[in-house]
Every structure is written in C-alpha cells, then in structure tokens.
Amino acid sequence: MENWTIRKRVLFGFSLLLALALLIGVFGINRISGVHDDVERIAEDWTPSVEALVDIQTAVNDLRRGNVRLLLSAVTGASEEIKTGLAQTASGQADLNRMIADYKKQVDEDIGEGKLYDDVLATKAVYFKAIDGVSAFVDKGQPKEAMDEWKQNMIPAGTNFVKALRAEIDFNRVHLRETSATSNKKARDGMLAIWVALALVVVVAIAMGSFIVRGINESLNRISVTLRGSSDQVASASGQVAGSSQSLAEGASEQAASIEETSASIEEISSMTRKNAESAEHARTISTRTRSAAEEGVARTDEMRDATTAIQQASVAMGSAINDIKKSSDDVSKILKTIDEIAFQTNILALNAAVEAARAGEAGAGFAVVAEEVRSLAQRSADAAKETARMIDASVAQSVRGVDVNRQVAARIEEIARKSEGVSESLGAIVSGVREVDDLVSGIATASKEQSLGLSQITTAIEQMDKVTQANASGAEQTSAAAQELQQQAVELQGAVGALLALVNGEGAEVSHHASAPVQKRHVVATQARVSSGIPMPGARTESKALRSSSGFTGE
C-alpha cells in the first residue's frame, strides 16, 4: 500500500467504509424484518385469537347467568320470564356456536392448538346438552327436576367448558408473551450490534484517515526535499549552460564554414558522376540493341535448322515410300506372271476343249463356242498382264531413279544442317558475349545512378547539417538567454518548495538561494518565443523522473 496513489488510497478508505455501512444496513434490515414478522404475528394472529376467546368466555358467562335467571323464573312461576329466558338461552347457544366455529379459522395445528380446540368443542357439546335438559324441564313446568339437572349436570359441564376455554386462552397468551419477548430481544440485539458497528466504522474511518494523511504528508515531504535539491542543481547548472552556449555558438560557426566548402566539392563530384551515368546509359542502349539482333539471328538459325530437320525427315519418309512402291511393284509383277501362266494354261485347255468339241460333232458345237470364248478371254488376260507388267517395270525404273535422287537430296540437306549448326554455335557465342557486355554496362549504369543518388543525398544531408549548424549557433545564443530565465525560475521554484515544506511540516522553512551572477539579458525575445512555441526546456524530463522515483507513488 506504500506505493498506492492518492486516488487508490482514498477510494480504498471510502470503499471500506461503504462496505461496513452496507453490512450494518443489511444486518439492521434483517433485524427489523424479524421484528416486523413478530409484530405482524402478534397483531394478526395471537392478539385477535385472545380477543376472540375472551369474547367467547364473556358469551359463556352471559349464558350461565341467563341459565340462573331461567331457573329462578321457573321456581317463581313467572311464565313470561320463562319464555324470555328460554329464548335468550337458545340465542346464546347459537351465538356461541357461531363464535366457536369462526375461531376455528385462527387455530394453528402446527403448534398443538388443535387438541385444545377439540377439548373446547367436546366440553361445549356436554354443556349444551345439560342446558337443553334444564330448558326442557323448565318448559314442562318441572322446576325441581330442572334444579336437579342444573346441579348434577349443567354446573360441572359449565365448569369444564370454562376450564377448556381458559386453557385455550392461556395457550394463546403464553405464545403472545413469547413472541413479544422474542421481538424485544431481536430489537435489543439489533440496536447493540448497530451501535458496535457504528463504533467500528468510526474507528476504521479515523485509522484510514490517519493512514491516508500520513502517507500523503510523507510523499509530499519527499517531493519537497527532491524539489529543493533539484532547484539548487538547476540554479548551479544554469550558469554553466550560459558559458557552454557561447563556446557552442563559436564552434558551430566554424563548422558551418567547413560544411559549406565540403558541399561545393561534393557538388562538382556529383556533376561528373551524372555525366558518367549518362554515358553508361547510352552504352547500355547500344549493347541492348546488339544483343537483340544477335538473339534474333540465333532464333532464325534455329528455325532453319528445324526446317532442315523436317526436310530430312520427309526425305527419309519419301525414300521409305519409294522402296515400299518398288516392293509392291515386284509383288504385282509376280502376280502378273502368275496370271500370264494361268492365261496360258487356260488357252491350252480351251484348245483341248475345242478339239474335243470337234470330235463330238454337233453335240459339242455349243461347247466349242464356249471354249472359243474362254480362249479369247485368256488371250486378252495374257495381253493385259503383259501390258501391266511393262508399265510396272517402267514405274520400278522411275522409283529407282527417285531413290537415287532422294539420296542425293538427303546428303545435300545433311550438309546444310551441319553448316547451320556451326552458324548457330557461332551466333550463340556472340549472344553470350553480348549478354556479358550488356550486364557489365548495366552494372556500370546502375552503379553510376546509385552513386549519383548517394551524392545527391550527401549533398542534401550536408545542406541540412549546414542548416542545423546555423540553427545550433542561433540556439546556443538563445540557450544563453534561457539560462538566465532558468536561474530566475529556479529561485521561484525554491520559494515554492519553501511554501510546500511549510504546508507539509506546519512551520516556516527557509530555502537556500544559490543564484549565480547576473548574466546579460540578450535574446530574451527569442527565448520567450521558444518557450511559447512549446519547445521543452533542458532537463525537464530528468527532473520529472527524479520526482516520481522519490515520491513513492504517482498522483492521478
């Protein structure tokens, strides 16, 4: 809890008090609720029950007095009073029956009241039976018998009935007193607990208040001590800052002159580098064109080589086809020879048939005609076969010449293919060399561009350094003026620390002043502009960290 913020400490204290108050409230509500339940039971249960039983007892007493008056009227012989007494007795019995029946709604069976109520009903029945007997004797004009019935039966029955009623009344009164005592005890215990809780809340509030105030005072005291030391350091350092600022301004001026000379030299180098980059770019363009032409020549040579290969393949296929034709012609020649032989044999058979037909005379005349036709057909077949054989022989001769010519063409094509292969290899070597040259030229051009870009960036950086150096020179002069303002603020801070210590310790606190000699107020306007523009003063962040580390908590 020592590192808690003020907000956390206050919230914890109030939360604890609120929790205690809530517990007190819940406990009080619980006690009040119990007392309310007891009072409600007294008001709505026990008190109405006792009142109803008292009314029943009063009605019983009235009925007993009426019975006595009825007996006196019977003894004296007053007929009108007898009639009135009998009517009142019957009315009293009816009222008692109604009242006892109404009371049954208030009987609590859970606590044993039902047995007492049953005793009341039983004794009432006996008592009413005795009353009916006395009333019957009185109505018949027999006062002696009525008196005997009253003494022997009605008086004991009435006494028992009254005892049963009193037992019921005592039962309700006992529970009424017990409920009242319980309610009073709950109220007393609740009041005592509430007073104890209130005392506890007061003690806790005092303890939490003391703890919070002590913690805040300790933290403020540490902050005050830290602020006092920091203000002394600021006052001492401000004088040193003023002297250092002047030296910084002189060094910044010399650095600015050197940077300006460096910037001029780099500008000349950058101009030469740009020219080199332009020349390298032009050389790369020419190299790219040469490489494109060489690659196109290689592509055309590859196409010619592919075409030559296709022609060679076609020539081989044609030679194969011619050989197949020659082979087929040889086969056909063999077949034609076979046909010629068949025609010759057929012709011989036809001649033999003609001879046999001539021998047969008229009977073979028709057969001779057929044999002549067969011989004629065989002759024509032989002639056709000879003509076909002659044509096939000519075709075979042409095929042989075609094979020779195709062989010569294939040899020429193969020679062309070998020469185109050599040309392709030469062009490939040229393309490879051109590519290497193009890559070298591209690398030179890229390096020249990067070098030119780097020099441009260096030039820009030097210009920015020049601006920063000039700004540092101006800032050093402004810092010198700000140091004087810082001394004044340190004096004011020491005064504020003294006031804070007086607030924390409750007594006067002196602050030592270590102000350095006055510094000439120059560039005050620039310093005020620097402060108003939102530029933080040197050491502000360091002082803030020192305050946080020494305070022990962070205020919110």
pLDDT digits (tens, 9 = 90+) for 84-105: 888 888 888 898 989 988 888 8
DSSP per-residue letters across 69-106: HHHHHHHHT-HHHHHHHHHHHHHHHHHHHHHHHHHGGG
Q: How far apart are CA 104 and CA 102, in angstroms?
A: 5
Distances in Å between the alpha carbon of 405 and those of 30, 311, 398, 416? 129, 14, 10, 17
pLDDT digits (tens, 9 = 90+) for 212-231: 777 777 777 777 778 777 77
pLDDT digits (tens, 9 = 90+) for 372-390: 788 788 788 878 877 887 8
Q: How far apart are CA 107 and CA 116, in angstroms?
A: 9
Domain 6-216 has CATH 3.20.20.120: no
Q: What is the pLDDT of residue 160?
A: 92
**Exposure b/e, 189-219, CB count within 10 A at least 16 = b:** ebeeeeeebeeebeeeeeebeeebeebbeeb
**Its pTM surpasses 0.75:** no
Q: How far apart are CA 80 and CA 16, in angstroms?
A: 85
Q: How far apart are CA 295 and CA 292, in angstroms?
A: 5
Q: How far apart are CA 65 and CA 508, in angstroms?
A: 99
Tokens of 102: 């109404």
Classify residue 457 as exposed, middle or buried by CB count within 10 Å of its CB (0-12, 13-18, 19+): exposed
Domain range annotation of the chain: 6-216, 217-255+481-551, 264-463
Q: How far apart are CA 35 and CA 196, in angstroms?
A: 19
Residue type, 46: W
Q: What is the pLDDT of residue 245?
A: 65
Give the fold, CATH level 3, of 264-463: Helix Hairpins (1.10.287)
Q: Is pLDDT at 272 greater than 70 in this prediction?
A: yes
Q: Is pLDDT at 17 greater than 60 in this prediction?
A: yes
Classify residue 165 as exposed, middle or buried by CB count within 10 Å of its CB (0-12, 13-18, 19+): buried
pLDDT band for position 156 (cuts 50, 70, 90): very high
Q: How far apart are CA 223 and CA 253, in angstroms?
A: 42
Q: What is the pLDDT of residue 246?
A: 65
Helix 79-103 / helix 47-76 crossing angle, nearest 10 deg:
160
Q: How far apart are CA 42 and CA 176, in angstroms?
A: 6
**In three state form, how does the secondary structure of 41-71 look?**
HHHHHHHHHHHHHHHHHHHHHHHHHHHHHHH
Considering the chain, what percentage of its residues have pLDDT values greater than 70? 81
Neighbours of 14 (CB within 10 A): 12
Q: What is the pLDDT of residue 511?
A: 44
pLDDT digits (tens, 9 = 90+) for 299-349: 877 777 787 788 778 777 877 877 787 787 778 778 877 887 887 888 788
Q: How far apart are CA 350 and CA 138, in angstroms?
A: 182
**Exposure b/e, 537-552, CB count within 10 A at least 16 = b:** bebeeebeebeeebbe
3-state DSSP call for residue 556?
A: coil
Tokens of 225: 């001590």
Q: What is the pLDDT of residue 536?
A: 45
Q: Is pLDDT at 193 greater than 90 in this prediction?
A: no
Q: Is pLDDT at 540 greater than 50 in this prediction?
A: no
Q: What is the pLDDT of residue 122?
A: 92
H or E segment to which residue 555 belongs: none
Q: How far apart are CA 108 and CA 116, in angstroms?
A: 10
pLDDT band for position 126 (cuts 50, 70, 90): very high
Rounded to the nearest integer, the mean pLDDT of the chain is 75
Kindly tell me the sign of the dihedral angle through the C-alpha atoms of 385, 386, 389, 390: negative
Average pLDDT score over residue span 234-246 = 68
Q: What is the pLDDT of residue 542?
A: 44
pLDDT digits (tens, 9 = 90+) for 501-512: 666 666 544 444
Least confident of 204-213, 249-258, 265-274, 416-425: 249-258
Task: Between 292 and 503, name the one with better pLDDT.
Answer: 292
Q: How far apart are CA 350 and CA 215, in angstroms?
A: 153
Residue type, 99: M
Average pLDDT score over residue span 13-42 = 75
pLDDT digits (tens, 9 = 90+) for 44-75: 656 777 787 888 888 888 888 888 888 888 77
